[in-house]
Amino acid sequence: MVGWLEVLPLVWMGLVVAAGVALLTGAIYLTALRLGRGTRAAALASVSPGMLPPLGILFALIVGFMAAGVWDAADRAKDAVGAEASALRSVVLLSDHLPVADRARMRELIRDHIEHAVDDEWPAMADRRASLSTISSPLADALDLALRFAPRSEGESVAQRETVESVQEALDARRQRIIVSLSGIADVAWASLIALAALTLLAMAFVHSANRATAAVAMTIFATAVTVVVVMLLAQDRPFTGRLAVEPDVLEQVVPRGA
């Protein structure tokens, strides 16, 4: 529902959200003024201010739950990328114990995997197009190479075992980052947040219907808070999308291009 917003620069994202919230606030304010005319004025003015604290608490709870999910996904994305980089680095170091030809081939496969991840998988994860059905061919070949290697000493046997485990860890970390890339705030959660914000603004307009200036000030303050919250959630909703996205820089450091 809000995918196009999440790829905007933060400044433009903030402006678009602020404009949308301002339109919503203005519409609610004008509606409340129209409803508050004539015989309905006294009824609206009698709406209890005690409604506002529960609405505010509900709004804060929804924001808290949404933010917790967003930050958890961001942490899991960073952990997955870090674990993948660490496992790949272990494979590179362990390749020193392989024969020269196998060592060169192993490092080439690791480099190919990293380049594929950076050039192809990262854009796909940003668009939420990445799929577990696609297997990393370089990593699969690296695992096959490690399993086919015939150790000639105890040290090479240990290196083979550790290499196989490290490649498997890299494959698992890759699966985790793809899974996390598909996470995000559900449309129903966004709809609930917007609906509750609108309901709170409407309650403010009714409570302060006897004083238009007070109503405008209160609604503007709350609308500003809603804007900040929505921009914060949008900027971090998808771990691999937008200006605050998790970058593949730690992967690129494992085997630099051209190395």
Q: How far apart are CA 24 and CA 29, in angstroms?
A: 9
The region of weakest confidence among 136-140, 149-153, 251-255 is 149-153
| Same domain as 150, residue 116 | yes
| Same domain as 177, residue 141 | yes
> Does residue 258 register a pLDDT over 60?
no
Q: How far apart are CA 16 and CA 29, in angstroms?
A: 20
| Same domain as 192, residue 161 | no
What residues have CB less than 8 Å from 259, skipping those under 6 apart?
A: 111
pLDDT band for 3, please (50, 70, 90 cuts): low
The predicted structure's pLDDT at residue 119: 92
| Same domain as 211, residue 170 | no
Quick one: average pLDDT of 12-26? 92
Q: How far apart are CA 18 and CA 225, in angstroms?
A: 10
| Same domain as 214, residue 87 | no
Q: How far apart are CA 109 and CA 244, in angstroms?
A: 30
Higher-confidence residue: 20 or 49? 20
> Does residue 1 register a pLDDT over 60?
no
| Same domain as 197, residue 178 | no
pTM over 0.85: no
Residue-range definition of the domain harbouring residue 198: 1-46+187-236
The total number of structural domains that make up the chain? 2
What is the crossing angle of helices 100-116 and 52-94, to 10°? 160
pLDDT band for 155, please (50, 70, 90 cuts): confident
> Does residue 51 register a pLDDT over 80?
no
pLDDT band for 16, please (50, 70, 90 cuts): very high
| Same domain as 250, residue 211 | no
* 68 in a structural domain: no
| Same domain as 175, residue 146 | yes
| Same domain as 259, residue 156 | yes
* 241 in a structural domain: no
